Amino acid sequence: MNPWVKRLTGLAVALVIFAIDQVIKNWVVHGLGLDQVGESRYVLPFYNFTFTQNFGVSLGLFTAGSPEGRWALVAMTSAIALFVFAWMLRERKLPEIAALGLVLGGALGNIRDRFGVGYVIDYADLHFGGWRPFLIFNLADAAITIGVLIILARSLFSRDKPETEAQPAPTVD
């Protein structure tokens, strides 16, 4: 497969994740009318749509408590997204390119939120009774996590080993 076709596939993955993420967030806020922190809609016994505002990054770390903090997070996450984009352009294997596309699309979705409304809109509330294995998250967060896990798994288990030519055994004269 042509290297540029692979890269365009990665960009397509990023754009699809970004678009779906933004559509779902818009639907949660405007379609379901969830726009107050803690408002919730039952979906399944183990899943609700619950609106929350994330002013930080992953797991609520580095919370931006001021406009300067908000823009610092926009700048930091934009720099990371540019790094991921550059990495995607250098990568040669489609699985890694697609995984980087997941990360890039998720990052762009969360950057768009932070830029537009000042926080990331989270809504996915996975729970089993009272136990919640994750904080409330969104599709962008899930895409970033899945992309990173794919990259890690492939780097640990699936990387091609360098080919070495079989050398004849040394002879003793």
Residues recognised as catalytic = 122, 141
Q: What is the DSSP letter of 19?
A: H
* Rounded Cα distance, 127 and 44, in Å: 10
* Rounded Cα distance, 93 and 82, in Å: 19
Residue by residue, DSSP assigns 107-129 as HHHHHHHHHHHSSEEEEEEE-BT
Amino acid at 51: F
